[in-house]
């Protein structure tokens, strides 16, 4: 986005981190207050775990409670209307993942069931790698695997590949 607005937002975030905020959750609460964001439609909290301020972008990562903080970042985009916010999120336990493109106070949210969103955002080959590395060990039987929402999200070719690794 606009370099002037990036610098303004960076100063705001740096000021917040230097003025006694002990946690990323405090930064979130301060931003909620500053931007008059209604927490009833947003995550109950957001824990800013890392803020990387570069010349041409700011990268924020962290954890939120049960849903993305789209309302807050939409409000931020109203004030910093020459910036484009790309917000990606996922929560396997609540079965959702997706991304939002936010600019000039408008939020285009693309939310999916967890595995469908991972496949859509990262591609089937990366999603298959995640399944093989992190998920297959939790299925006791081939039938249990085949009936899972995770397995059903993939194309037939990918299902065949996953089954081959499972066996």
> What pLDDT does residue 55 have?
81
- CA gap 157, 162 in Å, rounded: 9
Nearest C-alpha neighbor of 165 from the set 113, 97, 94, 154: 154
- CA gap 113, 148 in Å, rounded: 13
> What pLDDT does residue 43 have?
67
Q: What is the pTM of this model?
A: 0.82
How many alpha carbons lie under 13 Å from residue 163 in its C-beta half-sphere? 15
> What pLDDT does residue 33 have?
80
Nearest C-alpha neighbor of 129 from the set 98, 154, 95: 154
**DSSP percent split of the chain into helix, strand, coil, nearest 5:** 50, 25, 25
Contact 166, 148 (CB under 8 A): no
- CA gap 105, 109 in Å, rounded: 13
How many alpha carbons lie under 13 Å from residue 131 in its C-beta half-sphere? 31
**Which ranges of 19-69 would DSSP assign to H, the alpha helix?**
24-34
Nearest C-alpha neighbor of 87 from the set 111, 65, 104: 111
**Residue 83 CA from chain centroid, whole number:** 18
> What pLDDT does residue 137 have?
94
- Going residue by residue through the chain, which has 167 residues, state the pLDDT in tens, using 9 for 90 and above: 889 999 888 887 775 555 555 567 777 777 888 887 766 667 677 888 888 888 889 999 988 888 888 988 999 999 999 999 999 999 998 899 999 999 999 999 999 999 999 999 999 999 999 999 999 999 999 999 999 999 999 999 999 999 999 99
């Amino acid at each position: 986005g606009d370099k002037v607005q990036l610098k303004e937002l960076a100063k705001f975030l740096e000021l917040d981190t230097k003025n006694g905020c002990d946690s990323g959750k405090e930064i979130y609460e301060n931003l909620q207050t500053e931007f008059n964001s209604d927490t009833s439609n947003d995550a109950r909290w957001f824990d800013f775990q890392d803020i990387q301020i570069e010349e041409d972008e700011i990268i924020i990562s962290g954890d939120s409670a049960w849903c993305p903080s789209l309302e807050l970042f939409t409000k931020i985009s109203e004030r910093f209307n020459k910036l484009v916010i790309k917000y990606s999120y996922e929560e396997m336990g609540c079965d959702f993942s997706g991304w939002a493109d936010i600019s000039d106070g408008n939020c285009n949210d693309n939310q999916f069931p967890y595995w469908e969103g991972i496949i859509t955002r990262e591609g089937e080959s990366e999603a298959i790698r995640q399944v093989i590395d992190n998920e297959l060990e939790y299925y006791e039987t081939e039938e249990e695997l085949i009936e899972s929402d995770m397995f059903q999200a993939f194309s037939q070719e990918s299902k065949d590949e996953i089954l081959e690794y499972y066996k």
